[in-house]
Amino acid sequence: MSVLGSILGGIFKKKKAEPAPAAPVAPAPTAAPVQPQVTAAAATAPQPAPEVDVAGILDFMNDQKAQKLNWRTSIVDLMKLVGLESSLAERKELADELGYTGDKSDSAAMNIWLHAQVIQKIRDNGGRLPTDL
């Protein structure tokens, strides 16, 4: 899995799908009721994904840690918070995934760029974050 995929996966954890309860069996009606017509397009139209309060999730995760991490401004802390290795090698791999064209030996500039890009990718995937990020 990609580094970005691991970050997003650490934030947008999915619950396992629970089986739907079985519908009770009703006796067959004697007369067929008139059903409204539903077009195939309406039946299969994608529904917008609900926004996820990512700041709330990450703040909750941070509250559970002994070491408080500054995920709002630090890519290193964001990676640590979701349980990933935040080494320079991992950040360079993330930079490659996201198309960073700057000097990777300037880790401060790269880290700032990475944080901004990851925050945008979180938003692009339905994450709700404060506008100051």
Kindly give the pairing relationship between strand 52-53 and strand 127-128.
parallel
Residue 39, strand partner residues: none
Question: Could you read off the pLDDT of 45-70 as tens digits, one per residue?
Answer: 555 556 889 999 999 999 999 999 99
Cα(25)–Cα(55) distance, integer angstroms:
44
Q: Per-domain residue ranges for the chain?
A: 50-126
Q: Give the pLDDT mean for 98-121.
A: 97
Contact assessment for residue 117 and residue 56, using Cβ atoms and an 8 Å cutoff: no
Q: What is the pLDDT of residues 62-93, one digit of tens each?
A: 999 999 999 999 999 999 999 999 999 999 99
State residue 62's pLDDT score: 95
What percent of the chain has a predicted confidence (pLDDT) above 90? 62
pLDDT at 1: 74
Tell me the average pLDDT of the chain. Answer: 82
Query: What does the block give as tokens for 9?
Result: 């996966």
Tell me the DSSP string of the chain.
--HHHHHHHHHSPPPPPPPPPPPPPPPPPSSPPPPPP--HHHHHPPPPPPPEEHHHHHHHHHHTSSS---TTT-HHHHHHHTT----HHHHHHHHHHHT--S-TT-HHHHHHHHHHHHHHHHHHTTEE--TT-
